[in-house]
Amino acid sequence: MPASKREEGIQADASSSAPQLPLVDRRSALAFMGVAMTSSWTLPQPAQAAFTPPPQGFRAIVDKLDGYTFVYPERWLAVTSSGNDCFLRNPLNIDENVFVDISSPSSSRFNSVTDLGTPEQTAERILEQYLNKEFMSTRIGIKREGSVLGASQREGPGGRVYYDVAIRITSYASRNPYVATQSEVMRDYGLEWDRILLTTLSVANKRLYELRLQTAKDTYDTSKANLDAIRNSFVVNEVEVEGLAQLTSHTLSRGCQPLQQAAAMTCGRLYLVSASSCAAIVI
């Protein structure tokens, strides 16, 4: 048989034996391509599915890089120059704020918050740090006093242990700091400020996490509900490095620059979620 005839026969046999695929018109093909392109731009679902919407009037912060979450009143504003991992302040009460501090991964290896001792021992250590370091003043005629108001232990999600500590710090200033003798300085003191500091501690990723709330003593009772909501919402968790890398690279490759800038104004590298919208923003 001539080659041309043999080739035609082979082609005929192949075409007759091959499965017959349904024909797809141009409109259906374009529609299919549109669905495929849309699905490829969708953020990974696990990041949003893990969220519980915050209470009404609150926003939620979920830091996927460092592994912590908490809610805060939606009117509070970010302070970007504090040096803390995250710092928020009540614009209607300058004495009221919250920040998160995390120990260095290279200088600390904690297994549990119980490594610090009992809640009471931890509270006394924090009080000593406040009086002898953080709130120590070199000004003439300044006296600082403090007391532990409470220290307790509780179990959070996943059985993780949390310590809650409440401390009161009071500052007094002499009305005559430049008089001749120390006894005269100590004779006439007046109240400078009086604050309540609420600290919640826990451990994850071998690091110590501290959420600290501060408010003035005279506004504590009116602010207590909000402060309790913040500290009770504080949760630390193990960082999932692989999932984070996938989510970050996926989001950044989609060019979400306006969303990144909006989130950066509240706390860098965070997801921001409000009660009215469960959409997440990643940096």
String of DSSP letters for 68-90: EEEEEETT-EE-TTS-SSEEEE-
Cα angle: 21, vertex 22, 27; to 5 degrees: 130
Residue 2 above 80 pLDDT? Answer: no
Give 40's pLDDT tier (boundaries 50, 70, 90). very low
3-state secondary structure of 174: strand
Dist CA 81 CA 162 (whole Å): 28
- pLDDT given for residue 161 in this prediction: 98
Dist CA 245 CA 252 (whole Å): 11
Mean pLDDT of 162-174: 94
Task: For 103-147, write each residue's pLDDT tens digit.
Answer: 988 887 899 999 999 999 999 999 999 999 999 888 878 889 999
Residue 86 above 60 pLDDT? Answer: yes
Q: Of the given ranges (21-30, 130-139, 204-213, 271-280), which has the lowest mean pLDDT?
A: 271-280
Q: From residue 145, how far is each of 67, 133, 184, 210, 269 by CA, in Å?
A: 35, 13, 19, 22, 37
Q: Which of 56, 96, 69, 275 is nearest to 158 (CA)?
A: 69
Percent of the chain with pLDDT over 90: 48
Give 49's pLDDT tier (boundaries 50, 70, 90). very low
- pLDDT given for residue 183 in this prediction: 65
Residue 31 above 80 pLDDT? Answer: no
Is the model more confident about 88 or about 177? 88
Cα angle: 222, vertex 228, 231; to 5 degrees: 140
